[in-house]
């Protein structure tokens, strides 16, 4: 039994969405547990972009995505070089900007910044609260969150992956 081209394209698109979501969830969990985003997450996101693009889009529409992904890589690499960002963050932001392109890339960055800012504010509030009132420590349910707040660590991969998950429908919109 062979699928007609429309059903095959729909199945490929659904499989690509699921694979991208799984990769982003894995990246988020890995960043929470080990403060590292595996290279495989970014490589899978890039590979899935090309699978999706060549199965769906017109050939001429690849250049804007490559430009946006390349510019995002150069900018975030500068932040990495300055010691302001981790290498895994650089690769994942660049891979997701490749997906976003000119149309969805800026909105993805804004969402990522808002989510990251919210999470950072929570960690800063916890840090301040633990310094002012040490008795609050037993009421913070996660040892990991307490350690991040105490040491001033923020795994930004959480914000990147959550924003990526939010934007999956936009990335696949025609």
pLDDT digits (tens, 9 = 90+) for 81-118: 999 999 999 999 999 999 999 999 999 999 999 999 99
47 pLDDT higher than 70: yes
* Residue 103 confidence (pLDDT): 94
* Residue 6 confidence (pLDDT): 65
**Residue range 46-56: mean pLDDT, rounded:** 91
Q: Per mean pLDDT, which range of 79-83, 92-96, 141-145, 166-170 is the poorest?
A: 141-145
Model pTM score: 0.91
The DSSP result for 74-136, as a single string, is HHHHHHHHTTSS-HHHHHHHHHHHHHHHHHHHHHHHHHHHHHHHHHHHHHHHHHHHHHH-GGG
Of 143, 158, 142, nearest to 93 by C-alpha is: 158
Q: Per mean pLDDT, which range of 5-9, 22-26, 48-52, 133-137 is the poorest?
A: 5-9
**Mean pLDDT, all residues of the chain:** 92
**Residue range 145-163: mean pLDDT, rounded:** 94
Question: What are the structural domain ranges in the chain?
Answer: 5-171
* Residue 157 confidence (pLDDT): 96
């Amino acid at each position: 039994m062979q699928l007609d081209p429309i059903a095959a394209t729909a199945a490929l698109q659904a499989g690509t969405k699921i694979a991208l979501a799984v990769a982003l969830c894995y990246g988020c969990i890995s960043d929470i547990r080990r403060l590292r985003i595996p290279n495989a997450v970014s490589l899978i996101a890039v590979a899935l972009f090309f699978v999706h693009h060549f199965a769906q889009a017109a050939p001429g529409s690849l250049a804007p995505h490559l430009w946006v992904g390349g510019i995002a890589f150069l900018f975030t690499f500068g932040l990495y070089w300055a010691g302001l960002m981790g290498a895994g963050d650089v690769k994942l932001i660049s891979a997701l900007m490749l997906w976003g392109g000119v149309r969805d890339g800026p909105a993805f960055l804004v969402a990522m910044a808002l989510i990251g800012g919210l999470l950072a504010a929570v960690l800063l509030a916890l840090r301040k609260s633990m310094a002012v009132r040490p008795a609050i420590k037993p009421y913070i349910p996660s040892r990991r969150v307490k350690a991040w707040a105490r040491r001033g660590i923020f795994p930004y991969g959480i914000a990147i992956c959550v924003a990526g998950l939010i934007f999956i429908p936009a990335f696949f919109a025609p």
